[in-house]
Chain A
Amino acid sequence: MPKLESILDLEQFRDVCLKDRDAQKPCLTVCAGSGCTASGAHDVIAGLKKNLEKLGLADKIDVKSTGCHGFCEKGPVMIVWPDGVFYNRVTSRDAAAIVASATNGRKPVEKLLYQDPQTGERVLHENDVPFYARQQRVLFGNNGRIDPRQIEDYLRVGGYKALAKVLGNKTPGEDIVEEIKKSGLRGRGGAGFPTGVKWAALRANPATPKYIICNADEGDPGAFMDRSLLEGNPHSIIEGMIIGAYALGATIGYVYVRAEYPLAVEHLRVALRQAEEFGLLGQNIFGTGFNFRIKVVQGAGAFVCGEETALIASIEGRVGEPTPRPPFPVQRGLWGKPTIINNVKTWASVPQIINRGAGWYASIGTERSKGTMVFSLVGKINNTGLVEVPMGITLREMIYIIGGGIPKGKELKAVQIGGPSGGCIPASLIDLPIDYEELTKAGSMMGSGGMVVMDETTCMVDVARYFMEFLEEESCGKCFPCREGTQRLREILERICAGKGKEEDLEVLTDLAWVMKETSLCGLGQTAANPVLTTLRYFKDEYLAHIREHRCPAKVCKELIVYSIEPTVCDGCHACVAVCATDAILGEKKKSHQIDSGKCIKCGACLEVCQPKAVLVS
């Protein structure tokens, strides 16, 4: 492919791409994101290809592997174009039926259609599935349509139009910054700093060269939205970065991505190579005299490297430890030069804003939080997956409509939002609108968008302990309050979980949390106490039950619970004996069993298999 020398070249090439492919030609797009790959998407793809070849239809029907569609719970998922028929829980055995239906009158395969759990009705199109219906997929919308390895696919859905717009009109940098400011876009990495303001501060700094960085160091447990965007639509991020570089006068950009995301790195590298070949990156882009290159830096997976000064240190080859701000990176960043660091989703939002206008973007969301936010909905929820919703949606809508409620009819207890250093929002705040301000008011934070749903079987003290353990491990250890505070908090929480806590401990927890919040060097330490503070605020009774009554209300903390078998209920089926790993259950078949508490490790395996519900936890 020859280099695109001008915007005219780009548009002509886009036309070629569009004409190249008949819009009515059937295409089977299978999600090959990380979730669906794990549930066997590649077998499905291979099965489809095999069946098509067998029927000699390989050139009549396309098979495409795309990035994440979001509905990981029902994976592998796929869409049959041009009708847009949505199939879920596809296996390679279904391949023949899918191919047959795509060729013969396009009658959908009934059993693969999504079934509404309430009504039992089958749903034909993706957008009619409740999980998708309430979403507004600005960033992820194209994931289901394009093959991330094909720049042509991105061009077909209107890719690089925003870049052509700003370069073609020779839009001055300050106008682009002004547009971003007007859109109300706020940093999607978690802190929610207004992107336009940050950009304006960089422009105001006369020092050169300037650098821009895409922060793809997504380290929260259970979060995979940056990963999915990099895997599914890397060109949207590259386009955003090129526009950003043009507006800010940067010539080199970096993508800092974790090495644990091999597929994301691979897709990004492929996309960068294509963009360079096409002349979208490099010297004299589209003959405008604007030069820009993007380098990929792989991080070694330290959570703290998502903090911008630590990230800069890591790119420079130093240990990933934060340095105090000010000076901020826009003043003195990478190699001591002015630097902008934005999250993956922030960069990907830029082309959308340029294309559709700041007014359109600002019309989505709430008064102070604009646009859409991507959440990874995980935990005790029926529909796990990636969800992109307008800001301001309530937790209730998120959990009961999009998420489909809590499995096994259990009660919702809390939602942990914002990653490990976010906070736990109790079920009583279910009508809380999700935006930056409301979450902060409730003691949590937006973070990068992790959303862990917890039901009644979760012990909140244990949750706080778990997150402190994670943060203790991930604290870089440079500043004293964070290094020492996380250790001390974890020790105290462990003590409480073991029933050895004292009431004074609660005061110590509060004091330590306060001092960490106020004096820690970076965002990690300043927010590390949030899980403790929010659980103390909303679930103090659970702490007190552990301390005063030596009782774990959720029956989770192992030192405070005892397993036993109710002899009148036990039918002696022996199922529990079979699963017990420590041979702690005694008793003959058809006679009631007993648990040897000396051997019992309280794993709960017997509880799960017991049909007559004879296993008791007290």
Chain B
Amino acid sequence: MAALEGVDIDIRAGEFVSIIGPSGCGKSTLFNMLAGLIKPSAGKIYLDGCEPDSLLGKIGYMPQKDLLMPWRTVLDNVTLGLEMDGTRRRDARAQAMEELPRFGLKGFEQRWPSSLSGGMRQRAALLRTFLAGREVMLLDEPFGALDALTRQAMQEWLLELWATDRKTVVFITHDVEEAVYLSDRVHVMSGRPGRVELSLDITLPRPRSYEMTVSPEFNALKQQLLEPLHEASRQQMEEVR
């Protein structure tokens, strides 16, 4: 049985796109395909208009777990991607030191990851992906494990970061509010097989502030997303039964 069917998504450079769906809808499969870890059995993935042999090493990837290596200091963790590219150690470190303040990690470069808070670990993981220098970054529920207040702060911070660098971000989440708040467009997926049920442009102006999350426009968008999402979750429950 196919995990995905009829996923037709077009992402423009510099866009912030979210994919949302109930667990088991094929989000992870799609994510791993975009990262180049799985080859699609049918269909094509284009990057910059051409179809590369392998997407490995071409896409920035940040999985749910921070995956910081406990045997490396924060500095050596965040330069991992550069190190794998063959960047000279000194250059890699210099680049990292420059970015540390923006990621709220200044002064923590020589610490072990085990001494960092959850939010800091997540920022370190993001910096590691960021420093690898890919134009497209896949973020899989990066704030899923954080408490609500930390998550809110991290979302605001991520938007600031994105506004400065304008990298293309593909963000996976199952938090509707998070998706609306962050994205230019949201794709709702449903299972199985996974397909895109709805693609919705988020027309809220930028820069966005947290006050917007209680505005009527925001709620209307949320409502539009919740409906197909609710339907998808319900279907899945029935399938299990």
Q: Do A and B originate from a single complex? A: no
